[in-house]
Structure 1
Amino acid sequence: MSIRTSRRCSGGGWAPEPEISDVRVIILGATSGIAEATARLYAKEGADLLLVGRQAERLAAIATDLKARGAISTQVAVTDLAATTDARQELAGFIERLGGVDHVLIAYGILGDQDQAWADPAEAARILTVNFNSAAAWILAIADRLERKGRGSLVVLGSVAGDRGRRANFVYGAAKAGLATLVEGVAHRFAGKGPRIVVVKPGPTVTAMTAGMVRKGPLWASAEQVALVVRRAADRGGPVAYAPWFWRYIMLIIRFLPAPIFNRLEI
């Protein structure tokens, strides 16, 4: 990791330059709205970025944009993260390409169709496989690597949907609940050691995933708002972060509502 602190002026002297940390970052699911917004924050800091996802053209476009925004280097890797059979081997290849890794963001997932998942076991399995099974494999692979390295951070995108099962999205919510428990367990293992792991739980966010919803009201956040929480979580804070912050208190109330009251709510 390098720090640049000065630059030569046109008059031949030296002038202060904002500190830029050359952080090596792997983003899994880099075409998601939140991931792209987070990558822009890293680019502004002068990071080296490896963008991983399925859409080659979209990844290439994002990489070009990030380079223009200040990233030291941008690379892409085209793969189906949910279909990976050996996350540890593939991760090793990503790290070798980047020359090491400091931060990792896991940002991929699907909302799925709750009504279809209720009627069709294949849809339920798809939601659970993408949002939990595959993500868990990547979490364990990355966590092992960071633990052996003795430093670095992993941020995982979860959801407030995992805090309490609701009729609208309980299959998706179950996957995110499992993901949060896994992250908290790894954070407990990391306690007193160098690495860190955080699950960031956004509330409703204006992204491609929510394109079919009515996205109005004060509880909706932009991808950029969530990205600020994600970037901060990589450096500091506890193992669970809500985005925006007020969802911590909203979900606290929802979790402790008595069932007779909760069951009357259309949420």
Structure 2
Amino acid sequence: MTASKTVLVIGGSSDIGHATALRYAERGWQVALAARDTAAARRNADDIKARTGTEVAVHALDVLDTAALASFVEDFSALPDTVISMIGELGDQARAEHDVAHAAMIMRTNFEAPSLLLGLFANAFAARGSGTLVGVSSVAGDRGRGSNYVYGAAKAGFSQFLSGLRNRMALAGAVRVVTVKPGFVRTRMTAHLKLPAPLTVSPARVAADIFAAAEERPRDVIYVGRRFWLVMTIIKLIPEALFKRLKL
């Protein structure tokens, strides 16, 4: 039975955060959401309660307020069993090329903030002796492309952080770290983009794959959907002399 298990979804106001929290609630978990936009997170929480009958706690969290991260973790009277970071901001690549503040926001939101926060939870989980951490990165971090390299660079950094944290926690033997790499997902963040239908998945699909990798069939790194593993493998194998001439 998993009725007593708890999950904290950071980025709980997002579409993927909503779908993932719902997935856990449907499986009998106690669910909490954390978000800067608490009104949107509360709407997601109310929807989950209406669908499952599960009461969902909502916590206010501005992940860019670095000084507040430690107290956010310490304030939990009982640590969750699983913590999932959905933190992300696509931003505007063209703007980021000239607006340093915008580029910094993208980098901090996608790399610095989730890395620092999951690192703090990792320490707390290691002290307790158990726990699962899930970081939602992106296939965009597998190779820098001119169309989104600021976002991609930040996601690449986050993926490497999760890899190192997984290595450290595995040697300690207490905490699991899962890296999730979605490709194209139909969300509010991507609503303005023309996405290729065969390579695009729903938030519910991401949620199902997260739950499977974290709780049912343990995996270290997963791609969502799986076709993207092949796509990104091919892209990574393109020689740099040719790659730099491509518009990707």
Structure 2 matches for 1:1-267, cutoff 5 A? 3=1, 20-70=2-52, 72-93=54-75, 95-96=76-77, 99-192=78-171, 193-235=173-215, 236-267=217-248
Counterpart contact for 1:28–1:51, Cα < 8 Å? yes
Counterpart contact for 1:22–1:72, Cα < 8 Å? no
SS at structure 1 position matched to 2:57:
strand
- Distance in 1 of aligned mates of 2:218 and 2:56: 28
Task: Report the Cα offset of residue 68 of structure 1.
Answer: 2.7
Counterpart contact for 2:81–2:130, Cα < 8 Å? yes
What is the one-letter code of the residue matched to 1:263?
A: K
SS at structure 1 position matched to 2:64:
helix
Structure with more of its chain in strand, by fraction: 1
SS at structure 1 position matched to 2:197:
coil
Q: CA offsets per residue over residues 108-146 of structure 1, 9 Å max, x none?
A: 211111111111211111111111111111011011111
* Equivalent residue pairs, number: 246
Q: Percent identity?
A: 35
Task: Report the Cα offset of residue 42 of structure 1.
Answer: 0.6
- Distance in 1 of aligned mates of 2:79 and 2:51: 22
Structure 1 residues 237 and 111: alpha-carbon distance in aligned structure 2, compared to 1, 3 A threshold: same
TM-score by length of 2: 0.93
Q: Structure 1: where are the runs of 5+ without partners?
A: 4-19
Q: Which protein shows a greater Rg?
A: 1
Counterpart contact for 2:48–2:54, Cα < 8 Å? no
| Greater displacement, 141-150 / 170-179 | 141-150
Task: Report the Cα offset of residue 226 of structure 1.
Answer: 1.1
- Distance in 1 of aligned mates of 2:189 and 2:233: 25
Structure with more of its chain in helix, by fraction: 2
- Distance in 1 of aligned mates of 2:165 and 2:240: 31
Q: Structure 2: where are the runs of 5+ without partners?
A: none
What is the one-letter code of the residue matched to 1:171?
A: V
Task: Report the Cα offset of residue 194 of structure 1.
Answer: 2.3
SS at structure 1 position matched to 2:52:
coil
- Distance in 1 of aligned mates of 2:80 and 2:53: 15
Counterpart contact for 1:24–1:103, Cα < 8 Å? yes
- Distance in 2 of aligned mates of 1:71 and 1:225: 22
SS at structure 2 position matched to 1:191:
helix
Counterpart contact for 2:88–2:110, Cα < 8 Å? yes
- Distance in 1 of aligned mates of 2:168 and 2:244: 36
- Distance in 1 of aligned mates of 2:82 and 2:14: 17
Counterpart contact for 2:132–2:176, Cα < 8 Å? yes
Q: CA offsets per residue over residues 198-244 of structure 1, 9 Å max, x none?
A: 11010011111111101342011111111111112212433221111
- Distance in 2 of aligned mates of 1:100 and 1:179: 23
Counterpart contact for 2:3–2:30, Cα < 8 Å? no
Task: Report the Cα offset of residue 168 of structure 1.
Answer: 0.4
